[in-house]
Amino acid sequence: MAEEPSAKRHHAETSDKRRNLVDINVPGEKREYTRTLKGVELHGKETLEIVCTSEPDKADEVISRLWRKLGGRFHRIVGVGVHYTNKDEPPQMASVLQLCVDELCLVYHITAPTKWPKRLKDFLREEKLYTFVGFSIGGDKRMLEESGLEINPNNFIDMQCKWKDTKTNKYYDSLADVAGGVIHPFYEGMKRKMNRADHKLWGNSPLPNNLITYAGIDAYATYKSWKTIDNIVTGWDISKEQEADPYYHCNFVDEDA
């Protein structure tokens, strides 16, 4: 099982949590809050737990839960999403960072707190234990850097550059199209659940529930899409290896035997 950085000292440090915090200077409405949405409906019977917070301690707690989920997996994937403050009110920067593993999503409200935990930066800098995946990540990387955060560039996959529409052989224009194709048609409606006015509210604190829900589903769709694609590609690779092996034989079992 993957060992979480500083996990052995985490419980011992609870008496002085200020050691785990980093001063930041991010313009925005400063307000510490946490909102947890459970049972958010996805496709079929799938549901999602979304924890939206600007509190460093709460973010630490959820990051630890994400770590535990990653520990027992062969392919360790973290779905990433970033939303920005209103471009009509410069300077525009990252306002919300989403991190998703399986049915758990952290929506960290970057512009709301006055401090954030070191655990977040350590998590984002990881090189080998898991892989970050986003969609069209150029702007996300730039906006995160403006806010003082960086996801390890050597461990951050841009799904848009890695997967093509099998019918047209062209790269997808949106995450909704990818997720709608490889997961379920439910995700094709993601783009229609937000209007232009909503996109101006990412800097608001606290975030309204409809934005929290959208952010969580967005990160889940990224995570689940790449997990599905990774499984497909792995299956193809195994199939090619087996076909290239002169000792490989396809044995068909007679069910009536």
User: pLDDT for 42-85, tens place per residue?
Assistant: 998 999 999 999 999 999 999 999 999 998 666 799 999 999 98
Given a cut of 50, whether residue 6 has pLDDT beyond it is no
Mean pLDDT, range 119-129, rounded to an integer:
91
Angle of helix 118-125 relative to helix 56-71, nearest 10 degrees?
30
Strands (DSSP E) found in 66-110: 77-84, 94-101, 104-109
Given a cut of 80, whether residue 21 has pLDDT beyond it is no
The amino acid present at 201, given as its one-letter code, is: L
pTM summary value: 0.80
Confidence of residue 14 (pLDDT cuts 50, 70, 90): very low
Mean pLDDT, range 139-159, rounded to an integer:
92
User: When comparing pLDDT for 78 and 117, which is higher?
Assistant: 78
Residues making up the chain, counted from first to last:
257
Q: What percent of the chain has pLDDT over 70?
A: 76
217-239 burial: b if 16+ Cβ within 10 Å, else e:
bbbbbbbbbbbbbbeeeeeeeee
Please give the Cα distance from 234 to 228 (Å, whole number): 10
Given a cut of 70, whether residue 100 has pLDDT beyond it is yes
Q: By three-state DSSP, how is residue 177 classified?
A: helix
The amino acid present at 253, given as its one-letter code, is: V
Long-range contacts of 172-177 (CB under 8 A, 24+ apart): 174/135, 175/135, 175/136, 175/218, 175/221, 175/222, 175/225, 176/221
Could you tell me whether strands 104-109 and 94-101 are parallel, antiparallel, or unpaired per DSSP bridges?
A: antiparallel
Given a cut of 50, whether residue 7 has pLDDT beyond it is no
Task: Tell me the domains of the chain and their CATH numbers.
Answer: 34-225 (3.30.420.10)
Residue among 160, 154, 155 nearest 135 (CA): 160
The amino acid present at 235, given as its one-letter code, is: G
Residue among 210, 140, 202 nearest 175 (CA): 140
